[in-house]
Structure 1
Amino acid sequence: MAPTLVLPDPIERAILEAARASAPRECCGILGGEFAPGASRVRSHYPARNVADEPRTRYRIDPEEQLSIFERLESRDEEIVGFYHSHPRGPPGPSATDAEAAAWPDRSYVIVSLEGSGGDDNAVVRSWRWRDASGEGGQFERERLERP
């Protein structure tokens, strides 16, 4: 059975707004809540600064900001559920660059594509779990999004 990420509508809308506001650069951030390898629930999101050398095609969360967010999550008794970023000019699936940078096994990686699949609002939101059982490289597994 595919893993599941419960993503409340207000948080999904906030991530979509951040993606649109950041374009043509990728936005990024951290998701907090209840983590489980098979099903996680997002309770909060923390936008972060993208400090990648090529922010139009890559993302990198500022390391100091990431540490600060992790400390805030801990103080709120939340776990790291995963991360999110946008693909302003690409598909809603992980790129080779995303796979190279993935470092949190079993965590969710939410990707917002602003190109989508047509219509007035072309944005598409998808989620993936990083699976790395061997420790020698892994792969993304498509995750079911549940929107309560």
Structure 2
Amino acid sequence: MLRLPAAVRTSMVAHAREGAPAEVCGVLAGTHNEQSTASAAARATNAAAAPRSRYELDPGEQLTLMRDLEANGHEVVGFYHSHPRGPPAPSDVDAHEATWVGYSYVIVSLGGDEPVVRSWRWTGERFEREAVGVQD
């Protein structure tokens, strides 16, 4: 399960809307365990060559974000990205590029009438959907 404060969910949705029609991405920080809590979402630049259909975190920027989060007492909980037109499910490209086993990969979908936020844990072989508990 991923616990997600309402403010973090709102921040990710706002980022997705601002970046559309391109995909946006970022790093989730908080407490990482079987029932992680993402207490912050740090925006990252989408460095993909085709940002309308995929995302890629720049390795240097990712390292800087992670160091900053850890310096503030947070752990990396996972990552988020948007699907401006698609469903809130990992694509084949998402699965091919995933590397953080046991971490959350949140997808913000803008493809319907209302944004949908779903989370998936990478097992090393496939994504497994995990419950998202939005907290006030």
TM-score if structure 2 supplies the norm length?
Answer: 0.96
- Name the % identity: 49
d(CA) in 2 for partners of 1:51, 1:126? 23
Q: Considering only CA atoms, is the larger Rg found in Structure 1 or Structure 2?
A: 1
**Pairing 1:109–2:109 present:** no
User: Aligned to 1:31, which of 28, 31, 39?
Assistant: 28
CA RMSD of aligned residues (A): 0.8
User: Aligned to 2:12, which of 2, 6, 15?
Assistant: 15
Residue 141 of structure 1 corresponds to 128
Q: Which runs of 4+ in 1 moved over 4 A?
A: none
d(CA) in 1 for partners of 2:76, 2:13? 20
| Residue ranges of structure 2 left out of the alignment (5+ in a row) | none
d(CA) in 2 for partners of 1:71, 1:21? 26
User: Aligned to 1:44, which of 26, 40, 45?
Assistant: 40
| Residue ranges of structure 1 left out of the alignment (5+ in a row) | 133-137
Post-superposition offset of 1:65: 0.9
Counterparts of residues 56-71 of structure 1 (less than 5 Å): 56-71=52-67
Specify the SS of the correspondent of 2:87. Answer: coil
Q: CA offsets, 1:110-144, max 9 Å, x none?
A: 0011013xxxx421111100012xxxxx1000010
Specify the SS of the correspondent of 2:128. Answer: strand
Post-superposition offset of 1:146: 0.5
TM-score if structure 1 supplies the norm length?
Answer: 0.89
Residue 77 of structure 1 corresponds to 73
AA at the equivalent of 2:123: R
Specify the SS of the correspondent of 1:11. Answer: helix
Counterparts of residues 112-127 of structure 1 (less than 5 Å): 112-116=108-112, 121-127=113-119
AA at the equivalent of 2:9: E
d(CA) in 2 for partners of 1:110, 1:131? 14
AA at the equivalent of 1:76: N
Post-superposition offset of 1:45: 1.0
Post-superposition offset of 1:98: 0.3
Q: CA offsets, 1:5-32, max 9 Å, x none?
A: 0000001001001001100000000000
Q: CA offsets, 1:22-63, max 9 Å, x none?
A: 000000000000000x21001111000000011001000111
Post-superposition offset of 1:94: 0.2
Matched positions, count: 135
AA at the equivalent of 2:21: P
